[in-house]
């Protein structure tokens, strides 16, 4: 019989959470400086040593160019330039995981060798391998990977004791500090499996903070002190800028419990009274993207209405009251939320049956059309000074609403794209047989124009498969169904003299 994992780690975009299960069976969150939330940030010292967590945030005030607040977002970059030193993304991950392992060693008396690591369900083999290699570089010998929504659904059914029969499903709404993910997870005989997953890499708690800062700019944008505050150049100014975002974050959290909150703006020494109604108005467009995605993944799962037994909110940004309200309005289902939103995934991973390898999630995604993101900046290009906290940079106080592409997943789709393109070429080449070619040669000029235009239309539909959306697949199928009979039958009928 397999032994349940002793340690689980939820390596998040903004924070990392770890949970320990002792020999007695008791489960506790690992505390870092008294908090269960370890900032996932890293800072590169001049000698190449990587500092992690709150120490990294403090060190960033000295040299912001050596600071990376969100290593998880760099998973596709391969290497990251911090100051004048280049690091593999795997090394940044390993530094955070090493910090967790060391703290667990202090608690247990010896550092654990086994760990269950959670990851976004949409991560493909390439990204999962980066995470696994980082865990081994951090000193773990036995590494088990588990999709985050599986851990959350396990917590929902096991810790919260919600009834989830075999065949029933739970919708996991994971709204974290840096990203949003929506998943439909179905219970099987052996645990939970991900049916559908979709996500937004550019929507998280830091985007809510950015929306508030944008609101403040509408009040104080003409003040010279405000402009200096958003473009820090010295350690003192960076501390002031960090104070601003700390104040914004605290006000956002207070508005989850109260109807109003006051913000103090450093440098210009001004205060602003912010109400929950104002915050709702600022964030409703952002949250609408998430609620639409939840409704879409429920539809795409194609389960009976009665099979979806609940919507479970996880991730710290889900605490906003408007999140529950909009979800209830959109889906007709009241979501479930607990106090320790950030710790659900780590604790759920200790309750899930250990698996050798995370299952491959389906990649059929339902999402609204969105404009493409600008390309990533090369490592050797001039690099904007990163932020000293897990928040957007001052130069990007409000990010565009487009969903950032996932290069690793796009690479995995390449064989599908090439395969379908080859099939389409074969089918379009069929009318060019010798017999039919003669008919084409003798056909009316207008008919030839129509047939060739039809051929071009079908081929034009093929690149739509790149986005892997249902309407793209149906566009190709419809074009083939309508035009293939015309492309093949019309020349044949002309050859046989049945069509003038």
Decide: pTM greater than 0.85: no
Neighbouring residues of 151: CB distance < 8 A, sequence distance ≥ 6: 8, 10, 118, 344, 345, 346, 348, 349, 351, 352
Query: Which of residues 234 and 5 earns the better pLDDT score?
Result: 234
State the pLDDT at residue 388: 39
Q: Lowest-confidence range among 91-95, 159-163, 436-440?
A: 436-440
State the pLDDT at residue 116: 96
Q: Lowest-confidence range among 16-20, 114-118, 200-204, 485-489?
A: 485-489
Q: What's the CA dihedral at 261, 265, 269, 271 to 10 degrees?
A: -20
Q: Do the Cβ atoms of 118 and 148 come closer than 8 Å? A: yes
359 confidence band (pLDDT: 50, 70, 90): very low
475 confidence band (pLDDT: 50, 70, 90): low
CA 457 to each of CA 443, 452, 460: distance values in angstroms, whole numbers, following the listed order: 20, 9, 5
Shortest CA distance to 92 belongs to which of 137, 47, 139, 146? 137
State the pLDDT at residue 500: 58
- 344-351 vs 148-158: helix crossing angle, rounded to 10: 80
What is the average pLDDT across 423-445? 53
Domains and CATH numbers, the chain: 7-204+281-369+392-404 (3.30.420.40), 409-495 (no CATH)
Average pLDDT for the chain: 80
């Amino acid at each position: 019989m397999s032994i349940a994992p002793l340690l689980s780690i939820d390596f998040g975009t903004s924070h990392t959470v770890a949970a320990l299960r002792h020999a007695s069976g008791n489960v506790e969150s690992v505390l870092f400086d008294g908090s269960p939330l370890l900032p996932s940030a890293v800072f590169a010292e001049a000698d190449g040593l990587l500092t992690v967590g709150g120490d990294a945030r403090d060190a960033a005030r000295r040299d912001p160019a050596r600071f990376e607040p969100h290593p998880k977002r760099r998973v596709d970059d391969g290497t990251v330039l911090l100051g004048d030193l280049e690091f593999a993304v795997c090394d940044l991950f390993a530094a955070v995981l090493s910090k967790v392992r060391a703290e667990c060693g202090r608690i247990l008396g010896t550092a654990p060798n086994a760990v269950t690591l959670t990851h976004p369900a949409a991560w493909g083999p390439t990204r999962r391998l980066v995470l696994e290699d980082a865990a081994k570089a951090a000193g773990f010998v036995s590494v088990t990977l588990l999709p985050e929504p599986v851990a959350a659904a396990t917590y929902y059914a096991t810790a919260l004791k919600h009834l989830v029969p075999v065949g029933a499903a739970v919708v996991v709404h994971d709204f974290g500090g840096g990203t949003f993910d929506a998943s439909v997870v179905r219970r099987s005989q052996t645990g939970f499996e991900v049916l559908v997953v979709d996500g937004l890499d550019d929507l998280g708690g830091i985007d809510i903070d950015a929306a508030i800062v944008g609101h403040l700019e509408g009040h104080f944008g003409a003040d010279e002190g405000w402009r200096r505050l958003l473009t820090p150049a010295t350690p003192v100014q960076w501390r002031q800028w960090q104070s601003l975002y700390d104040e914004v974050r605290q006000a956002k959290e207070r508005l989850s419990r109260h109807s109003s909150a006051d913000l103090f703006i450093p440098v210009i020494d001004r205060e602003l009274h912010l109400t929950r109604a104002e915050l709702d108005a600022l964030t409703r467009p952002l949250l609408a993207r998430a609620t639409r995605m939840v409704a879409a993944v429920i539809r795409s799962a194609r389960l009976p209405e009665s099979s979806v037994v609940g919507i479970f909110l996880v991730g710290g940004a889900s605490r906003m009251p408007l999140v529950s309200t909009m979800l209830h309005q959109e889906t007709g289902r009241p979501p479930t939320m607990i106090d320790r939103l950030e710790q659900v995934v780590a604790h759920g991973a200790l309750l899930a049956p250990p698996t050798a390898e995370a299952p491959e999630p389906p990649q059929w995604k339902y999402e609204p059309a969105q404009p493409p993101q600008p390309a990533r900046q090369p490592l050797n290009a001039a690099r904007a000074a990163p932020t000293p906290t897990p928040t957007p940079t001052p130069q990007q106080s409000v990010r565009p609403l487009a969903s950032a592409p996932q290069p690793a997943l796009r690479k995995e789709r390449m064989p599908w794209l090439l395969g379908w393109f080859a099939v389409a070429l074969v089918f379009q080449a069929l009318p060019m047989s010798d017999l039919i070619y003669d008919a084409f040669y003798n056909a009316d000029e207008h008919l030839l124009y129509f047939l060739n235009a039809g051929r071009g239309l079908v081929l034009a539909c093929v690149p739509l498969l790149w986005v892997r959306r249902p309407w793209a697949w149906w566009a190709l199928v419809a074009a083939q169904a309508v035009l293939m009979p015309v492309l093949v039958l019309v020349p044949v009928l002309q050859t046989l003299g049945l069509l003038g």
